[in-house]
Structures are given as C-alpha cells and as structure tokens.
Structure 1
C-alpha cells in the first residue's frame, strides 16, 4: 500500500517494490494521474504485476476506511504501508500564519499519517508481519523559519514512528521513518518555480541559488532524486531490515548539519 503514489517518492517506491514481486495499491487524489502512473509501472515491469489504484483524500476518515477495506477485500490486508503523501502546506512569517493555516497543514501531514497507520496496522497485526514506513523530512531536525507548520508536523512524524514502533513490534510489525531533503519532486518543483518568479530568474538558476543559500550543507551539491529515497524505503520494507525498528533514516546528502539531529 503506497500513498502519495502518483508521482515522486511514492511512484519510485512502487517501481522498486513491484520489481521485488509485491502486489501494489497506489493511492492519491487524482484518478487520471493515478491511472497514468499505474500504466507506466505496468509498462516498466512488462505488465506482469498486480497493480491497482484507489482515489482517497487522507484528510477524510471515511475515505481512509474505504481504502483500507479495498486492500482487505482484494489482497487480504496490507503487508507493507509506505506513507508518502504530504504537502508543504502554509508557509511564511510565523506571526502571519492563521489557525486555519496551521490546521490545514496538520490535517494533511500529521493526521494523514495517523489515519492511515490506524487503518492498516490492524491488518498487519492479523498477519503477524508488517512494515510501515512514514516519511518525515530534514525539517524535523533542522527547521526552516518560513515553514513552521511543516517543520512541526514532520518532527511529530519522527516521534510518531518511534512511538508506534515501541507498541507494535511484538506483533511482527516494524515501523520506521525516512527523512529526505530537497528531493526533486512536484512539491519542490513548485517551490522552485515560485522562487524563480520572485527572483526573476530561470528555474535552474533558482535551484542553484537555493542550494548555495538555503541548503549549503548538501555536500553532494545537487538535488536528491526520488528513486534514491525509494531505495531506502524499499530496504526498510524488506527482510534485510528485520532488525531495524523505530529508526529514522536521513536521505539528505548531508543537509542536516549535526551528527545527532
């Protein structure tokens, strides 16, 4: 089960897991984009894989329940959940952000993770085996001043994954977190397009400026790629990670400055 699956990290995770023989349910907000992604992955794997799609708004509890029911009825429940859905949410000066700005971001980024975890962990408990990977961000350890709601939600995701890992490991369900930094996805592309407009520059120039001025500790000096994050997610979903639980894997090119953040 992959949320936020129509592009970016979710899509690349699906590609790897399908190659490893997984049956996949892709979920996101737009049916046409989901179906296009499913067709691309089928083509990528020569149409041999069992891939289905399900449109769900994870801010709506009823839609999360319907998604879980679909997975249960079609596959007997989820073995793996990679929760890749999320949004930057409201950004700007902290004193200018409203309660509504905060609650919108929390509802998507934090409560979305809470809802899907609550829906799918019981399916894994019934099987006696499961892998749950939540996606946080470098912002959880190294917050940026203009993104306070996103920072807070992503820090909460790290804490949530640790909390759940302590609770459900006894049931065979291992729960971990992945924290990317500045990955080339539709979300960061939109950020760069906005920055380019503000600076009156090209998008490529905006990316270069952002790397030098906002992410100077990305030591590899480039944006990360979604498949580089997906590789770590796939590892955590595998038997190779059978003794990994409650961890947070930073896939950030060195962006987080400290050793212990």
Structure 2
C-alpha cells in the first residue's frame, strides 16, 4: 500500500528511542525525511546515525517555550518546516495517591505532557495550514480513558491532550491538516523498562517476573498478556500520517492489546 509520503518531511518529538524512534523508522521506509527531536542530545544524535539516510537530529527541552521557538527557527533555517508532526515526547510523572500529589507534581506533568505538545503544535501546525496539507499525530495513552489511581497527574495530562486534539481537529481539517491521536498501553519502551526495573528491585524479582506480575495485578484486561512493541504503535502512526487516512479527523486510535475495558474514547 502506497502511503503517499515520498518527499514529505516529518518532525518527531521524543525521537531518540521507543515509539518515537520506531515511528521514524516506519516513516523513513515510506519515503519521508525525518527530523528527530529529543531532550537527550547525545541519544537523539545516535538514533539519527543509526537510522541513517534521510534522518537528522535536534536537541530541545520542550518544557521551555523559548526552546520550542528556537526549535522552529532552527528547523526552518537548516531544514524545512515539516509536513508531518508526531508528538511522542512525555514522562509518566509523579506517582501516588491523587490527593498526595503536590502542586509541583501537577505542574511538572502539565508542562511535560500537555503544554509541551500545545506549544509544539502551535509552532509547526500553522505552516501546514498555509500549505494546505499536513498531519499531526499526538501520542496519548490508555490512561486518558482508563485512569489508574496512582498515576493521577499523567491521567489528567493525557486526557487533556485528547480534548485538545479533538478541539483543534475541526478547524485544522478545514485547512487541510488532519489531527489525530494514538493511545498505546504498556509498550516496550525505556519508560516502561524503568517502571519494571523499579518494581523488580522493590520486590526482589527478575525483570520478566516484574512484567508478568504487573500484567496480572495492574493490567488485567490486557488480552494479549504482553507488552506491546514500538513498531506496532508506529504502524498506526504511519497510517494516520498517510494519504490513506484522508477521512480520519479528531480520532483516537487505541493500540493497547485490549487493556482499556470500556468502549468509550
């Protein structure tokens, strides 16, 4: 299937590893050029070298509005403004009882997982509208539809992203830019590796045992009974970036192995 991405340029935040890097690999295979962006400069440079032809790397802290403005200026000066924006950067944030989260915990999650995306879209989407074609794919999470009690700050930020994307999608679509979301669950990424490492250390068990225990106790509806692979999420991202998704607006595609129990959202 031809996704119609030959010659398109994609900018991917959180591109040094995990889902962002997998999305880059998939879009490159479809003929796109890719600009990887990440907080970790050395890691994003290594990722760009590994992916090789058609890939370049930029470092930016997306929690800083001035760095996002600088990122847009550098992208325009050194490369070209993207046709496709994939917002995959984010953190899980503080964990614990929702009412025990401090103002700082809430603020940090809001800046890292919500405002960073709003500001990045604000910096790059208008150029797509001016051209009359574009794709914006925002990585949300199962937590937006199925909030877990010890991940309140992350739940709220991801739910807000769904609302933001839906609100933007209608006005953007009228100018040729399609905005959609992808909500993964428990994917094999450095973020979930860190979660499982902490669990393994705390309980004195192996990494694999920690994964199995977590699935049983915390993700009982995950029908496939395993972590997802980044490339499984990347395939959905690539579809939403393509010409094949030309009638998909304001949608949320769950790539969650059945983890979310409800049919809503």
**Pairwise same-fold verdict (TM > 0.5):** yes
The answer to whether the 8 A contact 1:138-1:256 is kept is yes
Aligned to 1:50: 54
Aligned to 1:35: 45
Number of aligned positions between the proteins = 255
Compute the displacement of 1:21 (Å): 1.1
Compute the displacement of 1:52 (Å): 1.3
Compute the displacement of 1:62 (Å): 1.0
Between 1:72-81 and 1:159-168, the stretch displaced more is: 72-81
Cα distance in 1 between the residues matched to 2:79 and 2:46 = 22
Q: Which runs of 5+ in 2 are unaligned?
A: 1-10
Structure-to-structure mapping, 1:50-129, within 5 angstroms: 50-129=54-133
Evaluate the alpha carbon distance shift between residue 27 and residue 87 of structure 1 in structure 2; reply closer, same or farther with a 3 A threshold.
same
Is 1:17 the equivalent of 2:21?
no
The answer to whether the 8 A contact 1:81-1:131 is kept is yes
Q: 2:14 aligns with which of 1, 4, 26?
A: 4
Cα distance in 2 between the residues matched to 1:236 and 1:75 = 23
Q: Secondary structure at the match of 1:68?
A: helix
Compute the displacement of 1:20 (Å): 1.0
Superposed CA offset, 1:43-95 (max 9, x none): xxxxxx32111100001111111111122223431100000000001111122
Q: Secondary structure at the match of 1:145?
A: coil
Q: Secondary structure at the match of 2:171?
A: helix
Cα distance in 1 between the residues matched to 2:105 and 2:219 = 25
Q: Secondary structure at the match of 2:25?
A: helix
Q: 1:159 aligns with which of 155, 160, 163?
A: 163
Q: Secondary structure at the match of 1:221?
A: coil
Compute the displacement of 1:197 (Å): 1.5
Compute the displacement of 1:260 (Å): 2.0
Superposed CA offset, 1:91-138 (max 9, x none): 111222110011001000000110101001111112110000001100
Root mean square deviation of aligned Cα: 0.9
Q: Secondary structure at the match of 1:246?
A: coil
Cα distance in 2 between the residues matched to 1:127 and 1:72 = 14
The answer to whether the 8 A contact 2:145-2:264 is kept is no
Aligned to 2:3: none
Q: 1:213 aligns with which of 212, 217, 234?
A: 217
Q: Which runs of 5+ in 1 are unaligned?
A: 43-48
The answer to whether the 8 A contact 1:72-1:123 is kept is no
Q: Secondary structure at the match of 1:256?
A: coil
**TM-score by structure 2 length?**
0.94
Superposed CA offset, 1:169-205 (max 9, x none): 1110000000000001000110001111121111110
Cα distance in 2 between the residues matched to 1:228 and 1:159 = 24
Superposed CA offset, 1:119-165 (max 9, x none): 01111112110000001100000000000000000101111110110
Cα distance in 2 between the residues matched to 1:74 and 1:246 = 31
